[in-house]
């Protein structure tokens, strides 16, 4: 067997045996180096891991993670829920509509599906259960809606994609993700409303919201609603870069929590800094150790060989795009977004260039696929969070998960067939696409 096959088999073997993804990548890369290059080349491991994370745009990832944690602790989700509930009022499927809308708005602050799912589930699940919604349905709907955070800017996954794929403007990616993210949310809302009406699930006001008017709840929710405007407006105006936008978001969230909602204390802030550091450390460890795998794969020609094999499957670009999307969907059911980008993009970039797919549009399609994977068992990171809050088994949500997979799959198909859904906004804003 050739060294690159040894490396791929080693990676698969480590994963199957339960070795964490980050260490599987590093160990498989080391196997490739020893088998195909020279044991002496193991001396490059330190350089490769450092070079993988020594990139300025990566600073935005821990900062947006911290932003999501700050807004979650600041009581922002509850205020958004109260405003949405007062605006919509009690009706069939009213709380389902509230859950989807709040998840989408929260996604515009955190950029992280699991953080979005946790914040909304803590507020919405008790109210939805009291209103007659089954816990498996509620948990699945919130998990699926929270997956739109990977599309609606700012998105941690799109930040990483802009780093992995050279020449892609992150501002264009952020703009391109907005309408597909909204489309995905609407696609989830349609079956949720139909099911709620069929079973007669009646929306009831969230605790405390029944005594508040739309004007009062809007005033309370205004700081939260202004956060995405601040981030996207600053990017559009050129006032700050995407990385600087992350700093602004943290500062704004801190001000909101300490002085406006007053639900965040300095002690809480210190704890959140530590929590964000732990989460970011895991992310950065994956990126750093994946650098070993990427370097070995490049030196051995592994990625080039795989890309040539994929291109050789068919000359039909549409058929190949469908196959790629299915492969990413399966990967999304098993791996997190960061691992998927780091593992698959070195192979997919040559394929994308061969068929001349627009890299911004292709990045949004990948993100939508990965979003579906976030609430599709067996791994389903968002669903794990919401089922833990709901105190139910993951298996109980399988039927509802399949329903929402089909719904978001329809949204994905529309973006694939009509690329302008993603590309219109960045082109109007004058970004390089």
Q: pTM here? A: 0.86
Check residue 410 and give its pLDDT: 95
Q: Tell me phi and psi for residue 301, to 5 degrees.
A: 80, 15
The percent of residues in the chain predicted with pLDDT above 70, rounded, is 96
Helix, strand or coil for residue 92?
Answer: strand
Task: Report yes or no on 324 lying in a domain.
Answer: yes
Whole-angstrom distance, CA of residue 3 vs CA of residue 301: 10
Give a yes or no: residue 259 inside a domain.
yes
Question: Looking at the domain assignment, is residue 197 inside a domain?
Answer: yes
Residue 390's nearest CA partner among 165, 129, 205 is 129
Average pLDDT, the chain: 86
What average pLDDT does this structure show over 318-326? 91
Q: 276: pLDDT confidence band, cut at 50, 70 and 90?
A: confident
**pLDDT tens digits along 402-427:** 999 999 999 999 999 999 999 999 99
Q: Which of 135, 60, 150 is nearest to 103 (CA)?
A: 150
Asked if the structure places residue 105 within a domain, the reply is: yes
Is 92 within a domain? yes
Host domain of residue 368: 56-279+301-428
**Would 402 be classed as within a structural domain?**
yes
pLDDT at 82 over 80: yes
Q: How many domains would you assign to the chain?
A: 1
In a domain, 2, yes or no: no
Q: With 90 as the cut, is the pLDDT of residue 275 above it?
A: no
Is the confidence at residue 198, as pLDDT, over 90?
A: no
In this prediction, residues 225-245 reach a mean pLDDT of 81
Backbone angles phi, psi at 166, to 5 degrees: -65, 145
Per-residue pLDDT at 62: 86
Indicate whether 211 belongs to any domain: yes
Phi, psi of 375 (to 5 degrees): -125, 20
* pLDDT value, residue 209: 47
Contact 336, 344 (CB under 8 A): no
202 three-class SS: strand
Q: What is the pLDDT of residue 389?
A: 85
């Amino acid at each position: 067997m050739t060294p690159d096959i040894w490396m791929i088999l080693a990676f698969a073997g480590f994963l199957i045996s339960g070795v964490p993804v980050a260490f599987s990548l590093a160990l498989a890369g080391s196997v490739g180096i020893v088998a195909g290059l020279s044991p002496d080349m193991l001396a490059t491991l330190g350089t490769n891991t450092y070079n993988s994370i020594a990139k300025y745009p990566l600073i935005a990832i821990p900062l947006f993670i911290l932003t999501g944690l700050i807004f979650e602790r600041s009581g922002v989700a509850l205020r958004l829920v109260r405003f949405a509930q007062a605006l919509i009022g009690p009706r069939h499927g009213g709380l389902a509509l509230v859950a989807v809308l709040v998840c989408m708005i929260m996604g515009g602050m955190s950029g992280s599906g699991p953080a979005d799912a946790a914040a909304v589930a803590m507020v919405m699940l008790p109210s939805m259960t009291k209103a007659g919604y089954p816990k498996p349905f509620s948990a699945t709907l919130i998990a699926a809606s929270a997956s739109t955070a990977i599309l609606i800017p700012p998105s941690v996954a799109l930040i990483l994609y802009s780093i992995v794929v050279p020449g892609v403007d992150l501002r264009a990616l952020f703009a391109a993700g907005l309408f597909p993210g909204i489309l995905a949310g609407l696609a989830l809302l349609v079956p949720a409303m139909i099911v709620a009406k069929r079973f007669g699930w009646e929306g009831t006001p969230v605790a405390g919201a029944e005594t508040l008017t739309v004007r009062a709840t809007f005033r309370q929710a205004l700081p939260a609603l202004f956060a995405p405007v601040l981030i996207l407006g600053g990017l559009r105006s050129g006032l700050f870069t995407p990385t600087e936008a992350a700093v602004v978001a943290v500062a704004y969230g801190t001000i909101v929590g300490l002085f406006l909602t007053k639900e965040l204390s300095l002690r809480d802030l210190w704890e959140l800094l530590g929590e964000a550091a732990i989460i970011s450390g895991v992310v950065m460890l994956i990126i750093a150790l994946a650098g070993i795998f990427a370097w070995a794969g490049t030196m051995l020609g592994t990625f080039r060989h795989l890309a040539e094999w994929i291109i050789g499957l068919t000359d039909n670009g549409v058929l190949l795009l469908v196959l790629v999307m299915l492969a990413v969907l399966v990967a999304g059911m098993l791996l997190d977004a960061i691992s998927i980008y780091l593992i698959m993009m070195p192979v997919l970039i040559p394929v994308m260039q061969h068929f001349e797919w627009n890299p911004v549009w292709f990045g949004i399609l990948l993100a939508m696929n990965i979003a579906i994977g976030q609430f599709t068992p067996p791994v389903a990171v968002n669903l794990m969070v919401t089922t833990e809050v709901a105190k139910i088994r993951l298996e109980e949500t399988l039927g509802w998960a399949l329903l929402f997979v089909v719904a978001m799959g329809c949204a994905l198909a529309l973006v694939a067939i009509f690329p302008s859904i993603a590309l219109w906004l960045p082109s109007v804003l004058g970004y390089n696409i």
